[in-house]
Structure 1
Amino acid sequence: MKFSRFLTSGALGLTFLAAPVALAAPADEAAKKVTFDDDVKPIFRQHCLTCHNQSDKRGGLAIDSYGALLEGGGSGEVVWDDGDIDASRLWQLVNHDDTPAMPPDQPKIPAKQLATLKAWIAGGILENSGSKAKKKKKNSLAFVAPSSGKPEGPPPMPTTLPQKVPVVSDRAAAVTAIGVSPWAPLIAVAGQKQISLYHGETAELLGVLPFEEGIAQSLRFSRDGRFLIAGGGEHSVLGIAAVYDIENGSRVATVGDELDVVFDADCNDNMSKIALGGPQKMLRIFDATDGTLLFDLKKHTDWIYAVAFSPDGVLVASADRAGGLVVWEAATGRQFLDLTDHKGAVNSISWRDDSNVLASASDDGTVKLWDMIQGKAVKSINVGGGPVNAVRFDHKGQLVTASRDHRVRLFDASGNKIKEFPAMSEAVLEAAITHDSSRVVYGDWTGKVQLTTIADPPVPTPLAANPPPAAERLKAVEATLASIQTKLKPLAAAQQAAKAKFDAAEKQFKDAQAAQAAAIAAVMQSEEKEASLRQQSKQTREKLPAMVTKSRDQHDAVIAARLGLGESSDAAQMEAVANVEAQLAAQLSEVAETRRAVIELTKQADAEKVASGDLIAKIKPAEEMALQKRDALLDAQNEHRQAKLAHDAVAAQMSEQDRKKEALAEAVQ
């Protein structure tokens, strides 16, 4: 086990002579420049120069002059002029953020003097009052997560996975590896000759991948989440890297043939290269398509514990038991950076999504954040609780750590602790954050694995690192099926009853709608008839003036004819008068009939208006009835929907359990 080696590292770097007296700062200190000559050197003289001067360079470092301080010591530079306080090695040591803490075996130097040192570093490490600060560089910890790597459409999830458990034991062994999908609720947990895949939200066991070569020491998902890369094997016998398709669980590639176990393995962004490392102290990079060895990189002097490609595939980092941390060019195999600040074994590394920052966790109790552009540590996080066994970034740039003090901690993108989870019973060996940053999953030395929500209060859910055999799980599934079948029958009856009620309510609603529509149509028909009658009455009335005028003219003609007849008894003249009088009588009769028609049409229109009013009065009750039936229909529809949802949910559970039963039955055979 890579985490079973506990090393003691010697103190390197600065040593200080502690003194109890603090120098008084000027009253206008905040308003003036903070310089080496005026402000910092007096602090060094009081605490440091006994050990760090030109005559006695402890750790190769002298700080009694500005030039000597800039040269640094045996571990490299300790201050930079970019104003980045988090990246300052000097500040990390005097503020006890990193080891060896200065002064050694002493409390921190007084807070006021620490504030002066901090202001000096943040101000650009000015030498004297005539010095000018350079423009500050961009903060490397300012992070905006890119979306590259996320596949189009739904993220990959298992569909059909193997269910057989290769090795069954009474208890789980120490957790050697945990991996989480970058885009899906999927968790991989290593066990003896097997890798268990769990749903990251429900904690359901989705399947078991066989790892016949031994124990997986590392589990990493590909950039798009479609493949799982497992590095491992058997100590002093065999080491390989295996690649699995997570949808069906098939092994699509096996790379390497090490003479000892592989502690870590990873693939690049396009799955063309696989890198692995272990006790043989060499970083090996293979062609993922045909397994040929591309690079055999010999830089490390001790076991390689961690290997990881940058998300963009440009770099690959490797870390070892002696505190070595090297970054390589993935395309050429040439060394890119040699990072030497750790004072203990580097157990775990993780890249931020933008590939600009690398996190490393060490036995020296720190997690360091390395800027790939500046080539230095921009933050040293004193995790607390001793050696740090694991570190992982999430998409937000947050960090989760696992430590030997049984604790899991969460840090923000700037390295500030934001949460500490309840302690486990033993040292926590592995930890990771789920794809949506809602949960952390971690495992300890006893084999206990826990999935915990980040939100308060944390809700822990155990995951079995050593799943029960297929036969045992088959019995559980069969019992679950029997329980589901018992629930399904009354739900089906309730659904049928709700459907019948819904159908009846729908018919009643449609009948009420038809009655309402009929009432409205009758009113419209009556109103149209009334309008037609009044129009006919109007048109008939408009004929009367002309008819009356004509009858008056005819009346005048009658009077003239009568006057012309006088007392004459001439038959012809009398016949003419009679004809004129007959025409008048006919015209008067027509006028009378027309008047009667107007009166009748008006009476009919008035009657139709009354009838229309009666019909209108019937519309509101019909409308209210339709509304009542609509509400009843909506209630019945909702009742039916709920009954159907309840039935379908249980039916889906039954279908899923049937699928599991079939898979487990096949595994048992």
Structure 2
Amino acid sequence: MINVPEKLMLLCSLCLLVSLPDSLSAAEKQVDYPKQIAPLFRKYCEGCHSVDDPEGKFAIDSYQGLLKGGKHGPAVLPGDSGSSRLIRMIKGEAKPVMPPEDSGEKLTDTEIALLVEWVNQGAKGPSGAEPARMELMVPDIAPAKSAEKPITSLAWSDANQLKAVARFEEVQLQGKSANQSQKLQGLPGKVNSVQFTTDGKWMITASGTTGLFGQAAIWDVATGKKLQEFSGHKDVLYAAQISPDKKWLATGSYDHNILLWDVATGKQVRALTGHNGAIFDLAFSPDSSTLASASADATVKVWQVSSGQRLDTLSQPLKEQYSVTFSPDGNFILAAGADNRIRKWRLISRTSAKINPLIYARFAHESPVTQIALSPDGKLLASISDDQSLKIWDAGQLLLLNVKENLPALPTSVVFSPDSKETLVGYSNGLLETIRLPEQLSSPAAETQNTTAVASSKLSIPADPPVKTVSLKEQEPNNQPVDATKLDAAAVVVSGVISSEKPEQPDLDLYRFESKAGQEWLIETNAARKKSKLDSKIEVLDAEGKQIPRVLLRAVRDSYFTFRGKDSNIVNDFRIQNWQEMELNEYLYCNGEVVKLWLYPRGPDSGFNVYPGSGGKRYTYFGTSPITHALHEPCYIVEPHPVGTELPPNGLPVFTVYYENNDDGRRELGDDSRLIFKAPRDGSYYVRVSDVRGFQGKDFHYDLTVRPRQPDFKVTLQGANPKVNAGSGKEIEVVADRIDGFDGPIRVDIADVPPGFHVTSPLIIQAGHDRAYGVVSADPVPETSGPLVAPQPDDSRYQSVSVTATAKIGGKDITHPVNPLGQIRLLEKPKLIIRMVTMDTNKLDVAGDNIAEFPDKPIELTIHPGETISARVLLLRNGYQGVVGFGREYAGRNLPHGVYVDNIGLNGLLLLDNQNERTFYLTAAKWVPETTRLFHLRADQEGNQTSIPVLLHVKHKDKLATSSNQRPAERVK
């Protein structure tokens, strides 16, 4: 019997014979193995029967392997075709017949006779050593009539100012003088990569023949002689890179393999395997210790050169990666490819396997990015694409600086000049172009980063007393600017109705007011709250009756909803494509609505939470209104820019947002409208009121308020009159009502707490947020004291506790009173006491009842942006034996925004009924500013007992954080 792999082997052999000409007679001519048999075996059989993949233990990529046969012995017996299993199965004398009857293929008598004759002649192979298989059988094709061959790769040496221009089978060296120029010819196939050594003495090329072999070579630049040749791949090379110390050569091929060579000996040191696609680019780190590879398998891998260990797989890309490079300082890796994006990672896996964090991901071109190149000074990055554009980026933050569109042909390669002032671009039509960069390169994104085009606490807005409001009534007709009702007072409430005697003519009410440039106005309607049928829309128009642009929102990343639609209220589970490349506090534009990302997805079945994050209806920004979104609806991460900014095209849309609103973005007015308008210049302006649906009627009445903006705030304390167990704590919450768009931080101070109790103070409500959390704690009661001895404050004592809120508005500190904390009631020791400790805390120090002791000062932890740290939570079970949970996405109360409890799984931070200790992890996003803040854990059981707060310091690694550069720290009083 012959197994299936041997059947496949025989079928491959028969298929090869089909390609032989029918006119050839086996009896007339000696069959030539190298010319007639081996090339056909390579074409049809080596894919399944090579030494690298010998199905049925049969390798046909060498003559010796062919004679050796498969698992059950040789398939060919030289000189004896009658006994050769191959021939007998072809003739149907042995089962199964080859090829199978249902294959639809049948050999002719001439083809069978040719195979029989070759075996009877002794199945002769090559004479002497079998030659390297570097010949591809292809039909003759007339050469294309072109002035120049396409440029395939470029290099520009800083050491000798030489340019290397690679084309098919040749490299041209171009110098400042004629005697420096020469042409190196005879290279196999397309030269896909060319590189100079740092000293400019050597040039390295990568080429080969598709399907046969790959070849790298080192050339002496001065003489044009080939110094060394490296052949070890079975397909064409796309990359050959020499290490900066000239010790190693790395080659990458279409065969999915990376080979590392010793330059001194020319010998292969090791193979780096793990990619599942072609290797398109390679890059050494400046210290020659690390290699990065870009592959068709949509990954970039990081390798340790000395050992060959894979240190990390950068899997964020969505499609093939074509280009990779290191920053000059070796601290970052940049890559780009078919998903139209450029990414930048921080390199931390230098000596051991670690996760290298993604720093930036920018949508770069409308088509695949075919190559990126860093300038010699490391400040600029160039990218080319199939969209026929060249873009120049700030290499630090990947901000777009300059665009050159409509290039003369498809760009194939780009490189910077040694002085970083020019780029050299090669094209598919053979053209070579030097492009001078502008003298001044600036980025609108850099200049307007974090611009919010809405009033904020940074604006100098005086906290003046409220302006006296005047009441008016609408004066019809006022559909046109010329008939608009005049608002002469500084603050006006005008009553109107959207109704017309001619139903076919929708009523639009216009009101005229005067403003100085930069003056800000609060404009809102009261209709739905008065049970009116009007679903109001307000717009601000200029003196000519035209809409006024408010902000330009430039898309920098495209996406779409991947799970369910979203109604106009929901704040959680925003599942969007490629969310890993998005960051908290970024704006998401969804079909006219703009929301802001608040919390990362916390598991495989979750999505982003958007502001306000902690519940309620979602907020919208830039005056946009909340709407419903469908599954697969497109959405974009956008950056705001002032109106009039010239934005170089990046392949994604720019959205203009006007001064208009349908529903209040803070969701405080229900279906009524609210808008903050900042006058761009002195002059007259109009407010237009209408029904967003185009409806009207006598019961479509409204009140319109137009007054100067007066930012302010009010803070409410929730959790007053707390009942606190001895040795434990209860959570309190402070909630801010932000008035007229005030968005700055608010500090809440709680003072004069009675002895025996402690409270978190001050509590900081962060800019743009609405709430903060603290803890009221009680000292433990000694076991020998009998009844509770901690002081029980009476009402008169506790009324002296001071709770105030302070914020800076218009450069002034504004302080408002907050409702009192009320009376604290002391309860007995709880059935569950919670403590957080550092990882190095001695368990004996917190064993048993020691957990209940109140520490003299809070435990302190330090975290750096982009870092994950660990700590422990301990339980003292005083009768409670069940599961203890601390929540999911909201585990870790009062953490700085951007710091969160990580690795919590689907069930959150949880201790089972037999657990009294667990390690938990805190992760800080890379953008979190330096701060100091108290946070705590709150159990879902036993009356929501809380831990004693822990002091968390967020510090930047490159700065020595001291008390002088910290905000006022929250503390336990």
Using the size of structure 1 for normalisation, the TM-score is 0.42
Using the size of structure 2 for normalisation, the TM-score is 0.29
Structure with greater strand percent:
2
User: Relative contact order (alpha carbons < 8 A, sep ≥ 6): 1 or 2 greater?
Assistant: 1
